[in-house]
Structure 1
Amino acid sequence: MEIIKFLQSFSNPILDYFFLFITNLGGQTLGLIISLIFLWCIDKRYGYKLIFAIAFSLAVNNIIKILINSPRPIGVEGIKSLGKETATGSSFPSGHSQGTASTFTSLIVEFKKTWIIILSITMMILVPLSRLYLGVHWPKDVIFGTIFGIICVFISNHLFEYCERNEIAYPMFFLSALFIILGIFLKNSDYFKSIGAFTAICIGYFLEDKYIGFNPQEAQIQKIFRMIIGTIGFVVIYISFKILMSTSYARDFLCYFSLGLWATVLAPYIFVNVSFKEQTAKKELN
């Protein structure tokens, strides 16, 4: 509590906006953006590996949150809490810290470049710090969230590489089925979102590799086109579920399952079968 009070003793509007910005980048947001850039535009294999690690980590995070059910510092006397809308579920461990740690640990392990290491460590410090400054987590939440995030990357990397090396997918499907079965007992909106995305990623990895064979190495204009179409698809799917289905665990699961399937299968299928370059050539001929 004293650490939070100490950080908040420097409180001012500029720091408030800065840490709100940082906290909104944390968790799954920045990790998802980086994953999709790799998946659709740079390196498909690593894109799958990163998004698999993030989804696995968030599913584990939600399991621990539900089991521990630790209260947040929100409402505690002497602590000012900002950005409460980013504080869903219980307090331990911090999902923002864990998601950020998973994202940037994966980048460090994969690339081992100095600038990536510096950027990653900076984000792995700033995001947990933002959660304390905003008064939505206790110090133990962000410390263990970061530790769990790092551990989850090594577990998910091992599983991903094992499946890739042996050209099998059933360990991923088994883990996905286990998460779904746990959902019978762990009734929580965030958990159903995370396992919906995780299940779709496992299925998508198998389907894309077997039936689509998307290659992200194209001209720069192609990559811009993909990001635009891909982003529009995300928005349409998300809004459609919000409008067409009432709030429920089924909607949470199906919405994020659909988003995961769009990212890993449907969008790559469109990218393979609709060539922006060919369309441009036809226009020039006309």
Structure 2
Amino acid sequence: MTTTRTRLLSLTSITLIGVAILLSAIKPLNMSIFSAINSALPSKALWVTITNSADVIFVGCLLFITLRKHQRLLTCAVLCGISIHYIVKFAKDSFAILRPEYGGLDHIVRLGPKLASNNYAMPSGHVASAFMAIIFIIFAHQLKGWKLLLLFIYGLLVALSRMAVGAHWPADVCGGLR
């Protein structure tokens, strides 16, 4: 069972990396998907709330609350969170992909503060943090069925929210999911 899960996670990661590379290579497709999501999603306040729920401080509190009885997993989650923070920072500087507000689109719905042009987009740290927390919570509580589905829906909503608030391209979101 564990090897099946590991293989599935590996295959999913490889697929998402491939999608991120493909979307980055086909810039018009990346821009079209972003524009469709950014302009079409209703209730902007909802998307800001969802995106803020994946902030590192919120995710840290969530992990502490849900993993407080699982000290070893909590320690691993904290170390993983710190690692993800620096990996994302390094990847952003390495890829140097501009955020959508600097990407040459005619119209963009941007919610939240304007980010500096050197605050690069790829990969999404919010999405990476959210899915890291989801994975630890699933393992800590052996979630299955509707609870597992609910967590993954939340993660996908975080991914969508990053485009809805105008912060990331679809390729950045896929890079954060890996």
TM-score, L = length of structure 2: 0.71
Question: Structure 1 residue aligned with 2:156, among 114, 125, 137?
Answer: 125
**CA RMSD after TM alignment:** 2.2
Alignment match, 2:37: 7
Alignment match, 1:103: 133
Structure 2 counterpart of 1:35, one-letter code: L
Tell me, in whole angstroms, the C-alpha distance in 1 between the residues paired with 2:85 and 2:166: 21
Alignment match, 2:62: 34
Tell me, in whole angstroms, the C-alpha distance in 2 between the residues paired with 1:135 and 1:86: 11
- Mapping of residues 211-226 of structure 1, within 5 Å: none
Question: Structure 2 residue aligned with 1:22, among 50, 54, 72?
Answer: 50
Gaps of 5+ in 2: 1-30
Q: Which structure: greater helix fraction?
A: 1
In structure 2, the CA distance between the partners of 1:72 and 1:50, relative to structure 1 (3 Å rule), is same
Gaps of 5+ in 1: 148-286
Is the Cα–Cα contact under 8 Å of residues 81 and 134 in structure 1 kept in the other structure? yes
Alignment match, 2:74: 47
Alignment match, 2:106: 77
3-state SS in 2 of match to 1:74: helix
Tell me, in whole angstroms, the C-alpha distance in 2 between the residues paired with 1:29 and 1:84: 18
Structure 1 residue 144 and structure 2 residue 158: aligned? no
User: Could you say which structure has the greater relative contact order, defined with CA pairs below 8 angstroms and 6 or more residues apart?
Assistant: 2
Q: Which has the larger radius of gyration?
A: 1
Q: Percent identity?
A: 24
In structure 2, the CA distance between the partners of 1:125 and 1:73, relative to structure 1 (3 Å rule), is same
Shift of 1:94: 0.7
Tell me, in whole angstroms, the C-alpha distance in 1 between the residues paired with 2:131 and 2:86: 14
Tell me, in whole angstroms, the C-alpha distance in 2 between the residues paired with 1:102 and 1:92: 17
TM-score, L = length of structure 1: 0.46
